[in-house]
Structure 1
Amino acid sequence: MNSKSVLAAVVATVCLASVVAAAGTATAAGGPPSVAAGPAFGFVPSRNVNHAGHSNRRSRVSLLTWHFGPVMHSTTVAPIYWGSKWGDSSFVDDKVSGLDTFYSKVHGTAYAHTNSEYTDGAGNVSTTNISQSSDATDTSAAPSGAPSTGQVLQEVAKVTSGHPQAGAYYPVYSDQPRGNAGYCAWHSSGTINGIQVEFGFFFTLDSDPGCDPGAPTSLGHSQGLSALANVSGHELSEMLTDPQLNAWYDQQGSENADKCAWTFNGLVTIGGQSWKIQGNWSNAAANTNSGYANGGCIQTS
């Protein structure tokens, strides 16, 4: 187990998560796709987890450092909606259309640009080259409770018929509530038939105060959409800056969105709409104490 896997295990324990990393399995020709999933990382903890470290004081501030892994220079987002309730229009409400707006319009925004300072040997994160492909809906039963990374990656393999787009990001939205899980969402990385993909997992957050940013109703979004948009921004940001869990994180294993979880400094604009979405950590802001939480969180750049 490498150091990042150890860190992932620590974060999972702190967040009371029960996600388990799944090993890849070889399959015979003509059988199910071969998948290999990494550990879950970048958990969005529920709001009842202690965030005392977020403040305007400069105590215990650590910068993100590069661990020689890649960042994303081009990103295609392909959302997957998993579970029978996604076939019910009253459950769907504005969630799918709202997330479509978020993913299709986030490129080039001042919010997305908060990730652009992070780089690898090939250049900086591209926040202008983010696009969305078609949604996919699978109304077969999603697991109740916390699925493993392997289960979620198998769902991606199923929906893509074992032929995913290389380097794409597949956020998987379950129709199941989180129950006793101490987190709202996570992201990970893996392969399907040898093709590298990034993926995430999101519980349904309707009427879940532990994962609710408390967006004003005047914004015109349902509570369920507002909650999903906030954690979707968290995981997208971490996927851009640490897609394979070996790029940018601090000495505690926290990624850029982790360091600003449940901290807000106004609203952000995406697709001509206002959203309440947390900020992201900026080393540049931290170095000048110009951010809002521990001097390093920014919501626009």
Structure 2
Amino acid sequence: MPAALALLAALLLTFPGSVPNAGPRLGSLLESFLPWLGLAVPVLLVAALVRRSALAAAAVLLPLAAWGALFGHLLLPGPGPQPRELLVLQHNVSDENTDPVGTARAMAAAGPDLIGVQELLPEAVESYRRTLDPEYPHHAVRGTVALWSEHPLRDVTALDIKPRDLTEPWNRGLRAAVDTPHGEVVVHVVHLPSMRLGAGGLSSQRRDESAALLGRVIDEETPGTVILLGDLNGATEDRGLAPLTDRLNVPERGFGFSFPVGLPVARIDQVMARSATVADLRTLPATGSDHLPVTARILLP
């Protein structure tokens, strides 16, 4: 039995796309938590030792090798400081956050060039402005998403990534051109629809539709660097985010599990880039949100 389970774990790690995504979206559910399949390795190894089975112990090498090939690079140290890099911060600050000033101070203390936030309530905007504006004098707010920047912003517009079946007001995306010391970059700050896990499985249709709309927006950008800061409600391995991961580079280092704050098991807060490298991604200490902030170094060409 341990040998068979080891083979199954290795197959799921190597071919997660073989799990169908129709109906309950089991494929996306598996891919959202795919790194945690590595926990099967020590469990199966103990089972093999208890059974004194050399075959089972050897079989455990299969999921170990598969996990290492997929995620081992995330454990390696990132490159040192580069002459052309930006530090960016992504944070869903939560619409139930009772300490917006403390959250803003924590974000500023990390010293990023750019700060992208989601779930920013209209009544909380002034608290964030008073705290962030002295160090980040350039900012833009569209709906419940916002961008604060050390560098001037231009051509700020809302992004149309609203699922078709939503009729209520819904604005969760903005685009801005940023005049950085290294040249212009385009920044998208977005919040894709939430997924819900229920008796019928995972509900991700709205998120997938919004991701596809965002992918088309990225296609329409002129050549150059594009940075995406967002609560995407999904892991980069999730096939539902393929319209983004097929177009953008994902972090090369760091797991960055950001949600939920009490026991972070998924990285749904993402930093991606086109025509630039996301060198590493790490989480910061908890704020008043149910998400952890994440920072990433963007290496510009």
TM over 0.5: no
Q: What TM-score, normalized by structure 2, do the two folds share?
A: 0.28
More helix by share: 2
